[in-house]
Structure 1
Amino acid sequence: MIYTVTLNPSIDYVIKVEKLVNGQVNRVNEEHVYPGGKGINVTRILKSLDNENIALGFVSGFTGDYIIDSLQELNLKSNFIKVKEGFTRINVKIKSEEETEINGQGPKISEEELNRFFEIIDRLVDGDILILSGSIPACLDEKLYENIMKRVEDRDIKVIVDATKNLLLNVLKYKPFLIKPNNHELAEMFGVELNSTKDVVFYAKKLKEMGAQNVLISMGKDGALLVSENGEVFTSNVAKGEVINSVGAGDSMVAGFISGYLKSGSYEEALRLGAASGGATAFSSDLATREFIDKLVEEIKIQKIN
């Protein structure tokens, strides 16, 4: 079974305002509400690509109920821990001349509630896949991802980590199956500027040397790059389309990559489906549909450069 982890999910309230004016009443032209959070995005795309999975994490209050109900309506499985204090956050995303985001805090998670989450993690078995996505709430230990990976290291479980900077660097000693920073995060990790594909390959290989089995780098309009566990380097192009929504594109790439790998056992095909899934979401107002992903797969070209 595939498990996704969203420690701090959200209701994403996406609104369009013709012209946002501070200090005045602004009228909304268009509004949408989605269950949000990086792991939940991965869950939704995995399901679209015919991969059964279970969403894990923490929810609280009436907003937490909305998350659970929304996933049920989408025929998605979840096993969230219900938290007593606070409520699942609401993130407001305002689209106007510029994009503005106002993100909520989320609930306070107690030690008892965290232990209930660990009990679920401890029931994972050989052959399972665990996807850790996004940030760790301030109320939890910043080493939580490390602690999770330590708990499963004696089992044959493929762990995927999509997080930033130290959260990612600190788990490398546990040899995650896949990590997916973008090119800006890669540069930030090493305090460098990336001026060429050669630079991206060099630092992606550094992450592999530090413990990651496979390193997938998303590079926006420049496509994606994979350094596989075998040391092979593949690049993908980007399908043609107008970027409408960058939120969830990276999560869609992770889901597409895992789905492609499970179906084919080929890193080349995994990268192809990952690139198509990321692009399809970027060109959509919400997460991509299966039909759109299938259409874009035909446009993705994979090149082996090493």
Structure 2
Amino acid sequence: MAHATSHTLHTNGATIHYDVRPATAGDGGHPPLFLFGSPMDASAFATLASYFTDRTVVTYDPRGTGRSTRTDGAAETTPEEHADDLRQVVEALGADAVDLFASSGGAVNALALVAAAPGPIRVLVAHEPATAAVLPDHEAALAACAGVHATYLRAGMGPAMAKFIALTTHKGPFTAGWAEGPAPDPAAFGLPTEDDGTRDDPLLGQNMRGCTGYRPDFAALAAAGTRVVIGAGEESEGEMCARAAAAVAERLGTEPVVFPSHHAGFLGGEYGQHGEPEGFARTLREVLDGS
């Protein structure tokens, strides 16, 4: 892969760092491809980017994550704030067209971006958007998400992350009172049981409630000139984010595209996790090419 050049943007309430890798195999007229998640930072997309050497590839650290710092002092972030950061990165590229692949919370933020300012965005592939607000059982699901956030504020990272894992791997609808069920043991997941006192985790603190509580503006998405494709992992069936993908696609009048592996199937060892990045990249390329 080509060496990435790093850039900095000062946005409203944050300093955003993003990276640009030029094509090394001839771009063939392809628009730049912007890969991102939330709260995953740019490092999560190194493997996936390696399969797109025929494109300029852009990655970034969302506000409050990695190199991108918050300057507003706020404890939580909304998808609309992330969307405005993304808009400014896209505009800074100066390209006539840009394709986006967005994962999880990043997919939520990308839907907010396209609804508000589609601009030069040609295609958005939103993989497993982490919005509980679109589910038929959204009240119970949102209560479960709020419970993770409350546990983090009360008890710290270990207990909250254990609840988060239980939440994201739960299969099927959430029942009333699910959030009040027995809490998993953090030690069972290799998580710390002692509270270190910090409360700056971008997943459990900053983004948990805003991301999962976001309701896409389906009318604005339909009116945008962007082709919006929703994706879900073949191993994720029944889990909250895959169910959300199905619900969003239904509202858009489409069917989710099935990607290999799980919620983070593009990983090739990042964070010690492995999906099926080669097959994932192949499916992504087919979607971007319109096949």
Q: What interval of TM-score do these two structures reach, taking the shorter chain for normalisation?
A: 0.3 to 0.5
Q: Give the structure-1-normalised TM-score.
A: 0.38
Q: Give the structure-2-normalised TM-score.
A: 0.39
For CA contacts below 8 A with separation 6 or more, give which structure has more relative contact order: 2
Higher percent of residues as strand:
1
